[in-house]
Copies of this chain bind each other. A is one copy, B any other.
């Protein structure tokens, strides 16, 4: 079972590494990080660099595709090699997935038309503009399309999908192995429960937060 995690300039590290940590423990999994060109890919902070061991063209038939989000997503919205690859790979995948604003790329490539999907809470409106039906849930399944909310939601997506693929026992073993018993020190991870002024400030700054560029 080949799992291709797509990298591009200015991706968000945890978007990719959360699902990676889960999927790489699946029995029979071969995980490969792939980018338009093989080589070192920098994250949105420019202080983390992951190796893309393969070019997209070297991974034509993955069983699972994972598209992370991040400020660099904005540069991946036009038709081109990544969209072509996504559409072709999707023909043969068992699961096509995304984390955070990765769903905007899937939608822009035409893969989420009329499908229920989610994204970072600040990007749900834009997701709708690209033809998907935005859903404010942590992990959304629509057929073989699985989308996760912002950044850290990729861990929940990974475990949920691991259960579908390999059964509850295996997914639970992975959860216990990574001691995923989350105890956030604050209850501020959702716009529904974070302090209202913080949510307002972040909505006002959302273009900067999503793109990393001043408005």
How many copies the complex holds: the figure is: 2
CB closest chain-B residue, reference A119: B179
The one of B20, B30, B163, B194 that contacts A13, using a Cβ cutoff of 8 Å: B20
CB neighbours of A24 from chain B (8 A)? 45, 47-48
CB neighbours of A194 from chain B (8 A)? 172, 175-176
Known contacts A13-B17, A172-B188, A194-B172, A182 near B182 by CB under 8 Å: yes
Would A198 and B185 count as touching, CB distance under 8 A? no
Stretch with Cβ within 8 A of B (4 or more), from A57-65, A72-80, A153-161: A153-161
- The complex places the Cα of A193 from the Cα of B177 at a distance, in Å, of 13
CB neighbours of A189 from chain B (8 A)? 175-176, 178-182
- The complex places the Cα of A209 from the Cα of B13 at a distance, in Å, of 25
- The complex places the Cα of A175 from the Cα of B24 at a distance, in Å, of 25
Stretch with Cβ within 8 A of B (4 or more), from A83-91, A127-135, A144-152: A144-152
- Does A92 sit within 8 A of B, measured CB to CB? no
Identify the 5 closest CB pairs spanning chains A and B, nearest first. Answer: A150-B179, A181-B189, A172-B188, A182-B182, A49-B51
